[in-house]
Structure 1
Amino acid sequence: MWLLPIAVGLSSLFWQQSSASGVKNLVVFGDSYSDVGNLQRLSNGPFWSENLAVGWDASIYSFAFDGAVCDNELFASDTSGAMPSIKDQIEMYYNEQLNLEPNETVYAFWIGLNDIDLAFKQENGTSLWDGIVDCISTQMRNVRKVFGSNRYLVINIPPLEKMPYFNGDDKRKEAAEALNERLLRSVTSLNKHHRALEMDLVDVHALVNDLVENPSQFGFEDASHSYWDSCQGQCTDAMDDYLWWDKVHLTGGAHRAIANSILLSGSLEPKISLASVEEVKKSIEKDKRFQSPTYTAQDNTGIIDKVIKEIMDKKAKEDESKSAIMDDADSEDLVKGDSEEDDNDSSGSFGHIYFVLMVTVLLCIGFVWFARRQKRSNGLAALSGLLKGNNNGRGRFMPLQNLESTNA
């Protein structure tokens, strides 16, 4: 099956760095599009995440649950019986204490389908788009704070109107586009403000649109009907010839296309392509690293919020301590500067006094010298006349020799 890579890389170095340093772990949070067995598998073949794990030769840990949303509290006051949300799944992952190396671990988020569905069931549900995307961004930031990772994979919402279940529904079309637009802005903003992040957005919306428009170019026979509606297991068509497994979920062939779009993305050097379907299945069967453990739903205890508060309080104390040290250093510099300034002032004052004394001494010497040379009683008056310039029409500064010759 020939597949076209349509992964949108918002961080141009991400997959290149992944190739260089190696991805050893793939942690997945999501809904039925990623649930590989926690509740139920809704596809015929390996999921996108399992294919991706094989391609990367990485261990997979999928906490996705069918029916999940980003945060159950966004949609109803009574959340009893609800599937673990992304917020809950992150706490479940924390409780496992896997201690995965941050630089070797990619965290994948794919959520939003059930969020849109529940939003439509509520009054003014379209006002929730911002809240849903804010929730996704918050959960990614929480993972970054608690687990120290900077490597993320975000997958957007497929075109709902192309699903057999919502065939041609303009409201669903607008909802998916509105959510994806906000998600793009959010991911772009996160990348912009956190330079250490290595975050990519996979444009599944564009990929599925292309698959529906030109299925034969991608190796599919039917991209408009679901296999179970058309065949019910009675026809001879291969299931992977269809894009849709049922009216909402994708076939193994479609999941494979998504994985290949990531592996064949232009920013990954060298480019990696999946082996044949049979070889991938054999790899999953033989190697437990490619088989995610199954996880049991747990009630949220709020431990992630507590951990984040502790982290932020510790950071605030460290910042306060650093600020105090800097203030002390500035104070020392200020005192030192004042001391140096005082020294300069003292030196300047002493120099000024010295200058005045020298001038006074010189004047006294001159006075004595002139006094000794005076032969008349009016000699003092003559010196006074020289200094004042009252010399009967002569220049103000009369040469002393002229005075001497006159009095000779």
Structure 2
Amino acid sequence: MEFRGHILIVLIVTVLVALPVPAAASLVTFVFGDSLTEVGNNNYLQLSLAKANYPFYGIDFTGGKATGRFTNGRTIGDIISAKLGIPSPPAYLSLSPTDDAILKGVNYASGGAGILNETGLYFIERLTFDDQINNFKKTKETIKNKIGAEAANKLCNEAFYFIGLGSNDYVNNFLQPFLADGQQYTHDEFVELLISTLGDQLIRLHQLGARKMVFHGLGPLGCIPSQRVKSKRGICLKQVNQWVKEFNSKVQNLVTNLNGHLPSAQMTFADTYQDVMDLIDNPTAFGFKVSNTSCCNVDTSVGGLCMPNSKVCSNRADYVFWDAFHPSDAANEVLAERFYNSLFANKAPSPAPLPSH
């Protein structure tokens, strides 16, 4: 599952454009992505096979129960939200159509999602990036009804948009021998399809009011546990990593181009690749002991999620990976700190002034 993918996409980010942060009270964030950033949308999709609602998931989250997050605890988004002094945006499908919570931000991410609509098709139900954008459009209409068109446009223009997609397009599409895209396209053709599709999607978000967009590049997918098992020696898959580098380079060029053509666009490409590779290659430097296999001992060519009958490691904080695709809560904490510092260093929201008496 995906999840093979996205691994540490939001991880250890080097941001090319520094974005100013408004006061925490006014900070609104909208999250688009896959299982790395999902907070429970797929739990509301009855037929979806891409769910993390099993015991062990959430074991280190508040309450100790599964919430739909594909890790043993918090996502990187949860941790960054806490650092910004705001609640982690709730899952879109958990909200009622008129819920006031949408005024503070929404999480549209869905495990198995990709840039292409056919990606993750065998999960039956998931919210593709196009689906997520459609849901954001509905959200904006609701916001308009609540506070008026002018205020809604201002809110959307000033909000932050965190976007992390693309790994499923490889792991659950192009790299699967039984799916059409891997047979139909060369990699050069496939990556051009991804970039042209993504360009149209980012333009559509801009038309809906998004200005401050952060797109998270892909980490070294060839080094995550679910891909290593395809190697006889359990090593990283060099070809997969080379394709990821090509994708990242083209997305970076796309972002630069869109910033030059779209009015008031402040898009940022967050380059994750080398820093994530450093974490995998040198886990002890970050306080970990194991980075080539998962805590949940589910590194197989089929499956890879932490099921109720899985054998969980005794010290979860020693492992970079929770299951065959996703980082552990401990890894997310390290990575969120680096991501936060890359984006918001010296730009953190100032505390609200005390009331005068």
- Paired residue total: 261
Q: What secondary structure is seen at the aligned counterpart in 2 of 1:224?
A: strand
SS of 1:198's equivalent?
coil
The alpha-carbon deviation at position 156 of structure 1 amounts to: 0.9
Rounded to whole Å, the distance in 1 between the matches of 2:267 and 2:160 is 9
Q: Distance in 2 between matches of 1:205 and 1:23?
A: 32
Q: What is the Cα deviation at residue 22 of structure 1?
A: 7.0
- 1:165 alignment counterpart: 226
CA distance in 2, matches of 1:134, 1:256: 34
**Larger RCO: Structure 1 or Structure 2 (Cα < 8 Å, ≥ 6 residues apart)?**
2
Return the alpha-carbon distance in structure 2 between the equivalents of residues 186 and 69 of structure 1: 18
* Greater per-residue helix proportion: 1
- Specify the alignment match of 2:41 in structure 1: 38
2:14 alignment partner AA: V
Partner of residue 135, structure 2: 92
Structure 1 Cα separation of the partners of residues 249 and 282 of structure 2: 24
Inter-partner Cα distance in structure 2 for 1:254 and 1:149: 30
- State the shift of 1:81 in Å: 3.3
Identity of aligned residues (%): 23
Q: 2:215 aligns with which of 151, 154, 159?
A: 154
Conserved in 2, the CA contact under 8 Å of 1:67 and 1:83? Answer: yes
How far is 1:267 from its partner? 5.8
Q: Does structure 2 conserve the Cα–Cα contact (< 8 Å) formed by 1:44 and 1:251? A: yes
Q: Does the CA contact (< 8 Å) of 2:21 and 2:344 recur in 1?
A: no
Contact 1:31 1:64 in 2 (8 A): yes
Q: Which residue of 1 aligns with 2:255?
A: 187
Pairing 1:142-291 to 2, within 5 Å after superposition: 142-146=204-208, 148-167=209-228, 168-194=236-262, 196-229=264-297, 232-233=310-311, 235-237=313-315, 239-265=316-342, 268-270=345-347
In structure 1, distance between residues paired with 2:82 and 2:158 = 15
Q: CA deviation at 1:193?
A: 3.2
Q: Which runs of 5+ in 2 are unaligned?
A: 1-10, 43-50, 52-68, 90-105, 144-151, 177-181, 229-235, 299-305, 350-357
Q: Which amino acid counterpart does residue 174 of structure 2 have in structure 1?
A: A
Separation in 2 of the partners of 1:23 and 1:130?
Answer: 38
**Is 2:86 the partner of 1:58?**
yes
Using the TM superposition, give the Cα deviation of residue 8 of structure 1 relative to its aligned residue in structure 2, in angstroms: 2.1
The answer for the alignment partner of 2:13 in structure 1 is 7
User: For 1:248 and 1:266, how far apart are their aligned partners in 2?
Assistant: 25
* Deviation at residue 11 of structure 1 after TM alignment: 2.0
Amino acid at match of 2:317: D
224-233 or 162-171: bigger deviation: 224-233
Larger radius of gyration: 1
When normalised by structure 2's length, the TM-score is 0.66
Aligned mates of 1:152, 1:22 — CA distance in 2: 20
The one-letter code of the counterpart of 2:314 is T
Which of 118, 129, 136 is the aligned partner of 2:198? 136
- TM superposition score normalised by structure 1: 0.58
> Residue 337 of structure 2: SS of its match in structure 1?
helix
